Amino acid sequence: MREAPVIAFLIFDGLTPLDFVGPFEVLSRLPGAHTRVVSPTGMAISASGDKLGIAVDCGIADLDAADILVVPGGPGARILMHDAATTDWVRKIAATAAWTASVCTGSLILGGAGLLGGCEATTHWSARDLLATTGAIPVARRIVEHPRLITAAGVSSGIDMALLLAARVAGEDIAKAIQLRIEYDPQPPFDSGSLEKASAEIRALAASV
């Protein structure tokens, strides 16, 4: 990894903001990190059903390479996985990046770019069947790591993934220091954070929130 790694985050209308901000909070703290927040058009994006607007640094046409590419998810990813301009760009950046990472349904975009054929990969629990249509082999794990490629499960899993990625690129001590800085010592008040742990009633209710 270069001393001042360029870390590109692809964001888009219909983003789930925590998918993006979890890894951003971790990876933007890497020593010398030069972040680039990128959208397909270069315009600011709208997330959470137009409840939140996030600015970008540039459009995909303006960035030709990155050391790390992070692709978060959200409802918009189900559209972008079929958008040739976006998937062409993802494939181009991934070709030379040291690491390409996805969070949640961001893996659908990696799949749409043809990066996951025959690979085990993870995604949000609601999107496993759709991920399989890209040729990926969906697995119910929180993080799936290959050389240069890492996929994470739904939304909050991006924090775990980014800490692992920080260790890969900058060493475990830096990753642990970032974990302390963001005080990531999780103490969820409930234990219903995965399909396997949640009751049938909670699984049914989760479709509405």
Which residues have a catalytic role annotated?
Answer: 104
CB 132 within 8 A of CB 138: yes
Q: Which is nearer to its own copies, 30 or 93 (CB)?
A: 30
Q: Which stretch binds its own copies (CB under 8 A): 84-92, 94-102, 130-138, 197-205?
A: 197-205
Closest separation in Å from C-beta 138 to its own copies: 14
Interior CA angle at 170 toward 21 and 136, to 5°?
60
Q: Which is nearer to its own copies, 87 or 157 (CB)?
A: 157
Residue 205: in which H helix or E strand, if any? helix 200-205
Q: Could you say whether residue 178 binds its own copies (CB under 8 A)?
A: yes
Q: Could you say whether residue 53 binds its own copies (CB under 8 A)?
A: yes
Q: Which is nearer to its own copies, 40 or 87 (CB)?
A: 40
Positive or negative, the CA dihedral 72, 60, 118, 5 is negative
Closest separation in Å from C-beta 187 to its own copies: 5
SS3 48: coil
Report, in angstroms and rounded to the nearest whole number, the Rg of the chain calculated over CA atoms: 16
Closest separation in Å from C-beta 95 to its own copies: 25
CB 39 within 8 A of CB 10: yes
For residue 180, the cross-strand partners are none
Sheet strands side by side (includes 58-59): 58-59, 34-39, 6-10, 68-71, 99-103, 149-152, 143-146
Closest separation in Å from C-beta 72 to its own copies: 11
Q: Could you say whether residue 164 binds its own copies (CB under 8 A)?
A: yes
- The residues that touch its own copies, with contacts defined as CB under 8 A, are 16-18, 21-22, 24-25, 28-31, 35, 37, 44, 48, 51-55, 104, 124-125, 142-143, 153-157, 159-160, 163-164, 167, 172-190, 192-195, 197-198, 201-203, 205-206, 208-209
